[in-house]
Structure 1
Amino acid sequence: MRLLSLLHRWTGAITGLLLAVIGLSGTALVWEGYWIGLPGAGDPVIADPAALGRVVETARATGPDLSYITFASEEIGLHQAIYHDGSGAYFSQDAVLVERWESFWERPELWLFDLHHYLFLGEAGKTITGILGLLLLAFTISGLILWWRTRKTFRLRLFPARWTASAVVRHHRDLGAVASPLLLLVAVTGSAMVFPAVTDAVLSPLAKDRSAIALPANSPAPTAQTDWPVLMTRAQSAFPQAYPRRLMMPREAGAPVAVRFRQDFEWTPNGRSYIYLDPFRALVLAVDDPAEGSAADAVREKLYPIHAGKVGGLAWQMALTFAGLALVMLGTLAMWSFWFAGSTKRAVGKLRPRDALRA
């Protein structure tokens, strides 16, 4: 038990600040639909495929080399276009430019997303956040084991009773015990998304063989003559009852245009239903319908919406907010009590009684 306590304390003291950053940024992202605050952000969604096609035309004319455009949703009533050079724009649902930026640093929802997922370090940062998720899982389990011995002294407080090392540690244990179910869920879902190979191995008993979607390798590239309203209308015909969520331009020569839809049974806000199209002839080339997937696919699809608060309404957003703020306090107070509170106590102990009173 002593070894477990040492591992818990030392690892938390080293990684506590990073976990606090992850918790705070994640909490802010849960509520992004409320604080973006641009004109039209609260508009109701108009899911007319021809109108969406006109928005795509405007987005392509506004910036160079469109990468993808995410269509308006109930959370944010604006279309978001992202370009290959890192710039982007918001458009109203009647295809009017609302906001334009040259770098993601100009939009807080974009750099907060990058901070939470990548720590501003790209793919290496993504791996680090996945490891932090696994550490959070270990912290939560080991913390519950350590707390169990002192459970009779449990007191739930917003802040420590006193700002001493022992009081902070007691507060840390009690707060961690209360938040542990949510922290376990956040840690598991986050790490599962970062390490898909591990997730696939765990879910392999629920998986089933499924033929890969055959896509042509010589699809023509979109041009100025591409009729985007017609193309979006054709895409909608493949999923008449689904919601168009994102249009993605070809990433390489010969690849088709892809449109993501969200069907009613899908939890992921942008859906996992794909339509692949020939932009020259506005023809549907292939359809990837998650309704034909396995139970493992269904579980994977639910990881992100649970982790990000995209399901469950206000109640789940509040629960995730508590988990995020608890993680901030657990991380920062763990570091403070380990690195600073102990040194302060030792420094005071070295003073003579009279000097200690003056201090």
Structure 2
Amino acid sequence: MKKIFGWLHLWLGIGSGLVVLVVAGTGSLLVFEEELEHAFRSSFFYVDAPANTSRQPLDNLTAYVLRENPKYKVLTIGIEPEANRSIVYLLVKGKPKEIKNQLYVAVNPYSGQIISSVAGNKRFFSVVLQLHRYLCMGETGKIITGISCSIFTILILTGLILWWPKRNNRKQRFRVKWNASFKRLNWDIHAVFGFYVHIILFVIAITGLVWSYKWANSLLYLAFDGNTKQQKIVAPTSRAVENTGIAYLDRIVATTNEKLPYEGKITIRFADSDTLAVSAAKENRSRHDNVSDFLYFEAGTAKLLKVRLYDNESAGTIARRWVYPIHTGSLYGVPTKILALIAALVAFTLPISGFLIWMGRKKKKPTAKAKKKLPINKTVNSRVQIQS
């Protein structure tokens, strides 16, 4: 059985190695995406908060952003609770899911000036995410990464079986022999490090399958809700109200903070149609990552139409919201992110060390037994020739 699993592990690893390398490498960058982006582009996200100076009305800022970018429409507005944070707009045109049609705009809420604008296809982490999920190949890339994710799940299981030590060989399988030959050291790095992070990698791979395949997503709902029918989350209908003269975006923010009196980022999202309500999602930072409550408002008047709280969601919907923080390691903040980063870095090395192991076996020298047989055969052949 180990020979069969070894054969599977080898050829599945060779077949998916390059994709795993790309996905694991980009995944390690995405673990600390927010922290890295804020560190290297702090001027985009942070502003000086003048004392005794109030913010400009959000409706005025939005109108100004649209005047400066007439080819775009607003998809989302990100409002952080801290006083020294910029307001970040995501503008879109054409097909909004294509990163070339996206534009990120940071605005100083006090001066009302645009700090900076960056196209989606020029934003570093947008490109990294496209590589991670689609290999920058659209739906074709999604199919490839989905297959590779399935294969990687099998590789983790077969790798564990191949690693499983015999009774007299247990110590060797739990530690790396740093002073060994390169060949032995490479094997230890592949097998031992792979063992220590295999549970984390397995969870990351399984949650990745939920994004890749509908059947995996349906199984999640079946496990928690007892059926595969996913709850459809649709914004309620709304009258198309324009030019009311009401600062309705500021009213949305005020009502959201009143109804949801905890600290957290507010993301206002505009629907594709004027007949659908505007949503405001507020992150609850007092709980684990990706916990948000939603309020829906009538555009133009900020009339509250619907309240959708996290705690009132079905068990399947809550489980589905857990997928993202589990996959990225952000579930409980920095500690789980560090674990996810270590696992991703190890996963990045596995195709390389595995390939070197395979190359080492291909170049393997003849065994002592084989060498011993070779002269005997030559001697026998020579004697036959002499006698003849």
TM-score for the superposition, normalised by structure 2: 0.74
Structure 1: how far apart are the matches of 2:56 and 2:251? 7
Task: Name the stretch that deviates more: 260-269 or 287-296.
Answer: 260-269
For 1:158 and 1:30, how far apart are their aligned partners in 2?
30
**Deviation at residue 183 of structure 1 after TM alignment:** 0.8
Change (3 A) 1:184 1:211: closer
Q: How far apart, in 1, do the equivalents of 2:179 and 2:205 lie? A: 25
Which is further off, 303-312 or 227-236? Answer: 227-236
**CA deviation vs aligned residue, 1:106-129 (integer Å, no higher than 9, x gap):** 221221122222221223433433
TM-superposed CA distance for 1:180, in Å, is 0.8
Aligned residue for 1:137, secondary structure, equals: helix
TM-score with structure 1 setting the length:
0.79
Q: Which residue of 2 aligns with 1:351?
A: none
Comparing 260-269 with 81-90, greater Cα deviation is found at 260-269
CA distance change for structure 1 residues 194 and 49 in 2, over 3 Å: closer, same or farther?
farther
Secondary structure in 2 aligned to 1:185?
Answer: helix
Higher alpha-carbon Rg: 2
Task: Give 1:66's match in structure 2, choosing from 66, 74, 78.
Answer: 74
> What CA RMSD, in Å, does the superposition of the two structures yield over aligned residues?
3.5
Q: Aligned in 2, Cα 1:265/1:314: closer, same or farther, shift over 3 Å? A: closer
Higher relative contact order (CA 8 A, sep 6+): 1
Partner residue, 1:98:
115
Change (3 A) 1:215 1:34: closer
Q: Which moved more, 1:257-266 or 1:200-209?
A: 200-209
Match 1:307 to one of 305, 327, 341: 327
| Structure 1 equivalent of residue 276 of structure 2 | 255
Q: Cα distance, 1:322 vs. partner?
A: 0.7
Q: Corresponding residue for 2:199? A: 181
Name the % identity: 18
Specify whether residues 311 and 218 from structure 1 end up closer, same or farther in structure 2 by C-alpha distance, changes over 3 A only. closer
How far apart, CA to CA, are the structure 1 residues paired with 2:85 and 2:144?
A: 33
What is the alpha-carbon distance in structure 2 between the residues aligned to residue 260 and residue 234 of structure 1?
12
Task: Give per-residue Cα distances to partners, 1:320-355, cap 9 Å, x unaligned.
Answer: 1110110010022223443x5456668xxxxxxxxx
Query: Partners of 1:219 and 1:208 in 2: how far apart?
Result: 36
Residue 199 (str. 1) matches residue 217 (str. 2): yes
Does the 8 Å contact 2:238/2:299 carry over to 1?
no
C-alpha spacing 1:281/1:72, structure 2 compared with 1 (3 Å):
closer
Distance 1:297 1:208 in 2: 12
For residues 4 and 281 of structure 1, the distance between their equivalents in structure 2, rounded to whole angstroms, comes to: 63
Secondary structure at 1:241 match in 2: coil
Q: Which amino acid aligns with 1:119?
A: L
Per the TM alignment, residue 197 of structure 1 is displaced from its structure 2 partner at its CA by 4.2
TM-fit CA distance, 1:252: 2.8
1: CA distance between counterparts of 2:190 and 2:198? 12
Q: Which residue of 2 aligns with 1:8?
A: 9
User: Shift in Å at residue 312 of structure 1?
Assistant: 2.3
Aligned-pair CA distance for 1:286: 1.9
Q: Cα–Cα, structure 1 residues 222 and 3, in superposed 2: closer, same or farther, change >3 Å?
A: farther
Partner residue of 1:356? none
Structure-2 separation of matches of 1:158 and 1:105? 45
Question: For this pair of structures, how many residues does the alignment match?
Answer: 339
Task: Within 5 Å, give how 1:337-356 maps onto structure 2.
Answer: 337-338=357-358, 340-341=359-360
Residue 205 of structure 1, CA deviation: 4.4
Aligned residue number for residue 381 of structure 2: none
TM-fit CA distance, 1:88: 1.9
